[in-house]
Amino acid sequence: MRRALVLGGGGVTGVAWELGILAGLAEQGVDLTGADTVIGTSAGSVVGTRITTGTLAHAYEDQLRPPDGELAAKLGPTTLIKLGVMLARPGEEAAKWRRLGAASAKAHPESPDARREVIRSRIGDPAWPDRDLRVTAVDTDRGAFVVFDRASGVSLLDAVAASCAVPLVWPPVPINGTTYVDGGIRSPANADLAEGCDVVIVLAPGTQALSREHSISRQLARTGATRTLLVAPDPEALKEMGSNVLDPAYRKAAALTGLRQGLTLASEVAEIWG
């Protein structure tokens, strides 16, 4: 039986909430960190890296500390509307992604170095683990969805920086002459990458897809898995996490509410995970 843990996007608070969920589950004896396949998109790429290259306990504890090293930003309604309009226009998906990349580069012509240091403060600069860790991004030069892994010839730090480069908020990330942005513009979780796995559990701080084709429910159906579960923030968690997923001030609260929710969900998750 092959099991996949899919970790979706959701900003600074999403990282904290996912680690809280995992910590709460682990406290109840349900350890998802040993998944055969770990798929990370945006915030999920940070979490996937932390749990496959270090310990869950340490990663969770980091979320409770002051958010030193983070850069405050806002992903508000105006930016979300702009993203939605650009991606809802008629035409090929590849063309939309190329246009979005160009718009993001124009909006943020500054060097991505400062943002890369933020990612380094979250994950360090580890080597790829000897595990099936996959990190998603979008190549805005070709307009192509990309999945980085240990065979890609790209450092894990660069892969995660690319996956976390929210368009119109942070500058695109250049890697080996190619420019990348957040894999979340394709899907909140890219759960279809778990195709072929028997059990798939998705942790998704945000569940709203920018297209019906890439909704989490449709992607889960395409995996062919016999047991699946989507875990999203409950109403209390949504309140505790605040309205701006990129606000580091809510990181600790997001981790604590994730822990609470993980403790509550342990029996349900255990039944699915096996």
What is the C-alpha R_g of the chain? 17
Q: Would you call 234 a catalytic residue per the annotation?
A: no
CB 22 within 8 A of CB 262: yes
Please give the Cα distance from 155 to 1 (Å, whole number).
Answer: 30
Q: How far apart are CA 262 and CA 213, in angstroms?
A: 29
What span, in angstroms and rounded, lies between the C-alpha atoms of 119 and 222?
32
Out of 42, 104, 187, 215, the active site residue is 42
Alpha carbons 27 and 82: distance in angstroms, whole number: 41
CA angle 62, 67, 71 (to 5 degrees): 135
Q: One of 62, 139, 158, 182 is an active-site residue; which one?
A: 182
Q: Tokens 């958010």 map to which residue?
A: 67
Residues forming a β-bridge with 179: 174
Q: Is 124 helix (H, G, I), strand (E, B) or coil?
A: coil
182 is catalytic: yes
Best CA proximity match to 28, nearest among 272, 259, 274, 210: 259
- Please, what's the largest Cα pairwise distance for the chain? 48
- Strand pairing report for 199-203 and 144-148: unpaired
Q: Under DSSP, is residue 95 helix (H, G, I), strand (E, B) or coil? A: helix
Residues β-bridged to residue 202: 6, 230
Which residues are catalytic, by number?
42, 182
